[in-house]
Amino acid sequence: MEFTELTLENFEEAAEVVKRVTQETKLVYSKYFSEQTGNKVYLKPENMQVTGAYKIRGAYYRISKLAKEDQEKGLITASAGNHAQGVAYAAKELGVKAVVVMPTTTPLMKVNRTKSYGAEVVLHGNVYDEACEHAYKLAEENGYTFIHPFDDLGVATGQGTIAMEIVKELPLVDYILVPVGGGGLATGVSTLAKMLNPNIKVIGVEPAGANCLQKSLKNGEVTTLPSINTIADGTAVKTPGSKIFPYLQKNLDDVITVTDDELIVAFLDMVENHKMIVENSGLLTVAALKHLDVKNKKIVSVLSGGNMDVITMSSVVQFGLIQRDRIFTVSVLLPDSPGELTKVSAVIAKMQGNVIKLEHNQFISTNRSKAVELKITMEAFGTEHKNQIVKALEEAGYKPRLIRANP
């Protein structure tokens, strides 16, 4: 079946079809984010899907609608990870051969998961666009059907089932925030939301370093970014979909961009306040909450996925603690004589600072007896506590100099 337009009939069909493979992701009310923003904030935890992301919806619905002969030839796709796993899982459930081309920079966990669902994985290119070009080439050579991760109306229909579930559970929703990479999720959600209730505002959220849709909407045509730079690898796309672009122009109310630093803090917030692991791309809608200039509205943030490897997770937590002043480093100069380190430690201990690293540099001055440098990295409860510790060191005569902590 070829999809030539997005229809309510197809959305309704897709909502039933995807139930065969999706987990029920009921809305989670966030007391923390509600208090932070002055709104009623709900989270749509698509990170809890069997493949760790919403992509299973569009992949399964699209593949299920393929003609039998096309299914028998096999299919191919390109993805930075979540669509790959969605296609692999859907193909396995439907008994179809799947080949997935992934950028060489894709986290190992996503590669291994895709393989575990029975797909053949080909690593090619540094970014999605390069992997996609190679996948088209292989499709032509082998007669595979290409399942596009976002620029496909059938895939967008499957993704839009999220809006159906949100509106059924929260009929008076005012805002739905959706992450944007190529725009498939935003297309499905915004189009169906407007069909169900034209008053619902749907906001797309992009990484500031990969804002291809924002640029395209501003230019009034699909625009390719010269380069992209973001830790949100799942939304690191240079060019939005051309087939879906008219729907985005019509149904998306706005596009917000957030920085990588904001995503890092959002990760920490989700872990500490909701005990949930959400990948950087999935955190876009959480980081965007404070950019909405509204109060007393019902807002749903779609958490699109939770596939993050442990090494990335560790790095994000460390940087988040630094940004929140929960870890900081000061440099102090002190005489190179016995007992000086004990004196500094006593000041920090009295203020309940917890030292986690010391660096002692004897060569800061040619006169060692006059001054050596001590770099102290420590834990604090936050900015206020950090300032209290620094003030105590100043009052003790150490002239502390704040420097950026290294995670």
- Catalytic-residue membership of 357: no
Residue type, 244: I
Cα–Cα distance measured from residue 180 to residue 191, given in angstroms and rounded to the nearest whole number: 14
State the catalytic residue, choosing from 44, 55, 65, 194.
Answer: 55
Q: Is 73 helix (H, G, I), strand (E, B) or coil?
A: helix
State the catalytic residue, choosing from 64, 216, 304, 386.
Answer: 304
Paired with 372 in beta bridges are 334
Phi, psi torsion values for 241, nearest 5 degrees: -70, 135
Residue type, 391: K
Q: What is the number of alpha carbons within 13 Å of residue 247 lying toward its C-beta?
A: 31
Task: Give Rg (Cα) of the chain.
Answer: 25
Contact (CB, 8 A) for 328 and 405: yes
Cα–Cα distance measured from residue 305 to residue 285, given in angstroms and rounded to the nearest whole number: 11
Residue type, 99: V
> Per the structure block, which two tokens stand in for 290?
């404070």
Cα–Cα distance measured from residue 4 to residue 68, given in angstroms and rounded to the nearest whole number: 19
Phi, psi torsion values for 76, nearest 5 degrees: -140, 150
- Catalytic-residue membership of 190: no
**Closest alpha carbon to 77 in 139, 19, 30:** 139
Cα–Cα distance measured from residue 181 to residue 85, given in angstroms and rounded to the nearest whole number: 16
Cα–Cα distance measured from residue 345 to residue 211, given in angstroms and rounded to the nearest whole number: 47
Q: Which helix (H) or strand (E) holds 196?
A: helix 184-196
Burial category of 259 from C-beta neighbours within 10 Å (exposed 0-12, middle 13-18, buried 19 and up)? middle
Catalytic residue list: 55, 304
